[in-house]
Amino acid sequence: MQVSKDIRNIAIIAHVDHGKTTLVDQLLHYSGTFKEHEHIDERAMDSDDIEKERGITILAKNTAINYKDTRINIMDTPGHADFGGEVERIMKMVDGVLLVVDAYEGCMPQTRFVLKKALEQKLQPVVVLNKIDRPNARPDEVVDEVLDLFIELGADDEQLEFPVVYASALQGTSGKEAGEQQETMDPVFETIMDHIPAPKQDVDGPLQYQITLLDYNDYVGRIGIGRIFRGRIKVGDSVSLIKKDDTVKNFRVTKLFGFLGLKRTEIQEAQAGDIVAIAGVEDLNVGETVCDQNHHDPLPVPRIDEPTLQMTFVVNNSPFVGKEGKKVTSRKIEERLLTQLETDVSLRVEPTDSPDAWKVSGRGELHLSILIENMRREGYELQISKPEVIIKEIDGVKCEPMERVQIDVPEEYTGAVMESLGERKGEMRNMENQGNGQVRLEFNVPSRGLIGYSTEFMTQTHGYGIINHSFDQYAPFISGRVGGRRSGVLVAQERGKVTNYSILALEDRGTIFVEPGTEVYEGMIVGEHNRENDLTVNITKEKALTNVRSANKDNTVNIRSTRTLTLEEAIQFLNEDEYCEVTPESVRLRKKILNKSERERDQKRAKKA
């Protein structure tokens, strides 16, 4: 077994918004990988439009930098638990992790999640205490919190001896002590060199290379990105792809790519320990192994946690179908969902009794809403049902997913938060006064109790509360109502344009979702009723113009501002008898049955049943 002294393979893991991607930016900048005239964009690794807009990492990505005589391959991973599938497969590619922790916030739910995955793979950790420049940073306490978390997650003795580097990725400084910051990333690099082991690989054995990420290029087709665990590979080699179903496909390596900085460069040869991209076969998938043709020895497919949430995706059949999107047919939508399956290992797509509907399962609301947002930007129209948690039977017991919830909130709002989570069957695990009037609450809550909760939480805490949660485990099902919307909706009576006059008449009935001039149709939801029942309303009514004075009178009356729902808010708002209609230009809510009389007949039948 040979040790590659000149390579280090690391993943950067952290809770969302603790500064992973900004730290990668600084490592790229200070490594000398770029020439002086080359410009590095802020959050350079977040290449997806939605990633840039939301400031979160969704897809795992890789880069490489040269530090002195060593090539450091870096994997930037998502911090949000909804994209945990991206984190899990990355752990197979690396020998160590940089755990980035905010020097004020400390350990958060996703810190626990990503660290647990790293420790299970027996990876060597380095802790980077980031945002050390914050005036309220508490480095000593946070290091103690991290140590407690390591112990709680069952770290071995070697992992418990983790080194700590203190940094401000935003300022571009780092140091071995909190109060000794230098304008360089050398302390981070040196700690990686000293503590992250070089790959121990058999360079001369038969080829063994596992695909962990996928990419696509118009010229060479599908590209697999992964690590060579054994042997060597060259352009022109004839190799075997061992599929997940154990079938074998022989192909010739047409292209081989290495990574440096933000560029992918063509190379002729690579060996064990290297992270490279390979092209030459069209239907390669995540988890499959490329082997020597005379020595088939596939690596185990990485285990990915199962989805916990599902929605039904339905072909759009509203009166406005095809007005804003070009891709509206069931064939187009099914092709797009199956394409997503090829790269998203945490997603499941199942057919239903209807050829126009599919059960789509994922790791959470954010995971599925990002897929929907991407589809609408690509020109698709579709309808989405209310999210439902996936119930499982474990050892003969009906079980549901539970979430570990951590809340930071001003002291005066703790009572309201505790009461609302109690109604959602939440169980408080811990309550800690953080000082400065801030309280940290920890709960275990059924996942279904958190669907739609974020809007209520922000209202309760007047925007000052911070809520984070991640999947904890499956536990026995809790009977009774858990969460859900308690208010009814205002439903449009007929097709037409919304008028100022009708909105003024309806403002006392609830919150309006549509602006004057908006096109609506019968059965479309135009607002939230301030009572529990649904109310069918005429929101397109014009005022009878009897004389000039009355015609102009309304121009001086101001209507209240309407509430525009984002895609996530619309999905969270849904009830069982409603759809969210998503198009490239609009997000609309509607009743599944548009006609009022038919809805009432259906409700009567449901009560009798």
**Residues 272-279, mean pLDDT to the nearest whole number:** 88
Q: Would the pTM count as exceeding 0.85?
A: no
Residue 525 has pLDDT above 80, yes or no: yes
Q: What is the percent of the chain where pLDDT is above 70? A: 89
Topology at the third CATH level for domain 406-476: Alpha-Beta Plaits (3.30.70)
132 is in an annotated binding site: yes
Nearest-5° Cα angle at 112, 90 to 568: 80
84 is in an annotated binding site: no
122 is in an annotated binding site: no
Helix (H) or strand (E) holding 26: helix 20-30
Quickly tell me which residue has 């190799």 as its tokens.
239
Paired tokens of 3: 């040790």
Residue 63 has pLDDT above 60, yes or no: yes
Pick the most confident of 60-64, 270-274, 433-437, 451-455: 270-274
At 592, the pLDDT band (50, 70, 90 cuts) reads very high
Nearest-5° Cα angle at 236, 230 to 242: 50
Question: How confident is the model at residue 52, as a pLDDT?
Answer: 44
CATH number of 2-197: 3.40.50.300
CA–CA gap between residue 588 and residue 515 (Å, rounded):
12
Question: How confident is the model at residue 465, as a pLDDT?
Answer: 83
**Residues 400-405, mean pLDDT to the nearest whole number:** 88
SS (H, E, C) 550-599: HHHHHHHCCCCCCCCCCHHHHHHHCCCCEEEEECCCCEEEEECCCCHHHH
Mind listing the pLDDT tens digit for each residue in 285-319? 888 899 999 899 888 887 766 788 899 999 999 99
At 353, the pLDDT band (50, 70, 90 cuts) reads very high
Supply the mean pLDDT for the chain. Answer: 84
Beta carbons of 348 and 361 less than 8 angstroms apart: yes
CA–CA gap between residue 595 and residue 609 (Å, rounded):
21
Residues facing 496 on adjacent strands:
520
Phi, psi of 9 (to 5 degrees): -115, 115
CATH number of 202-292: 2.40.30.10
At 117, the pLDDT band (50, 70, 90 cuts) reads confident
Question: How confident is the model at residue 40, as a pLDDT?
Answer: 44
The SS3 assignment for 445 reads strand
327 is in an annotated binding site: no
Helix axes 20-30, 186-195, angle to 10 degrees: 100
Residue 44 has pLDDT above 50, yes or no: no
Closest CA to 491 of 518, 517, 529, 532: 529
Question: How confident is the model at residue 55, as a pLDDT?
Answer: 47
At 45, the pLDDT band (50, 70, 90 cuts) reads very low
Mind listing the pLDDT tens digit for each residue in 183-220? 888 999 999 999 999 888 788 889 999 988 877 666 77
Paired tokens of 375: 């589809």
Quickly tell me which residue has 């909130």 as its tokens.
409
Closest CA to 498 of 513, 518, 476, 522: 518
Beta carbons of 147 and 153 less than 8 angstroms apart: no
274 is in an annotated binding site: no
Mind listing the pLDDT tens digit for each residue in 538-562? 999 888 766 555 545 554 456 777 8
Out of 14-23, 400-409, 545-554, 581-590, which region has the weakest mean confidence (pLDDT)?
A: 545-554
Question: How confident is the model at residue 38, as a pLDDT?
Answer: 46
Higher per-residue pLDDT: 43 or 33: 33
Nearest-5° Cα angle at 166, 161 to 171: 155
**Residues 435-449, mean pLDDT to the nearest whole number:** 87
Buried b (16+ CB within 10 A) or exposed e, 522-557: bbbbbbbbeeeebbbbebbbeeeeeeeeeeeeeeee
Helix axes 109-120, 139-152, angle to 10 degrees: 50
608 is in an annotated binding site: no
Closest CA to 367 of 83, 85, 109, 48: 83
CA–CA gap between residue 129 and residue 18 (Å, rounded):
9
Q: What is the percent of the chain where pLDDT is above 90? A: 34
Phi, psi of 120 (to 5 degrees): -65, -30
Beta carbons of 58 and 48 less than 8 angstroms apart: yes
Residue 484 has pLDDT above 60, yes or no: yes
CA–CA gap between residue 132 and residue 10 (Å, rounded):
22
Out of 30-44, 74-88, 581-595, which region has the weakest mean confidence (pLDDT)?
A: 30-44
Residue 177 has pLDDT above 50, yes or no: yes
Domain boundaries, the chain: 2-197, 202-292, 406-476
Question: How confident is the model at residue 47, as a pLDDT?
Answer: 44
Quickly tell me which residue has 């309760």 as its tokens.
460
Closest CA to 257 of 287, 230, 288, 226: 226
Beta carbons of 430 and 442 less than 8 angstroms apart: yes
Beta carbons of 88 and 77 less than 8 angstroms apart: no
218 is in an annotated binding site: no
CA–CA gap between residue 138 and residue 598 (Å, rounded):
61
Q: How many CB atoms lie within 10 A of CB 415?
A: 10
Give Cβ neighbours of residue 29 (< 8 Å, ≥ 6 apart). Answer: 40, 172, 185
Helix (H) or strand (E) holding 454: helix 453-460
21 is in an annotated binding site: yes
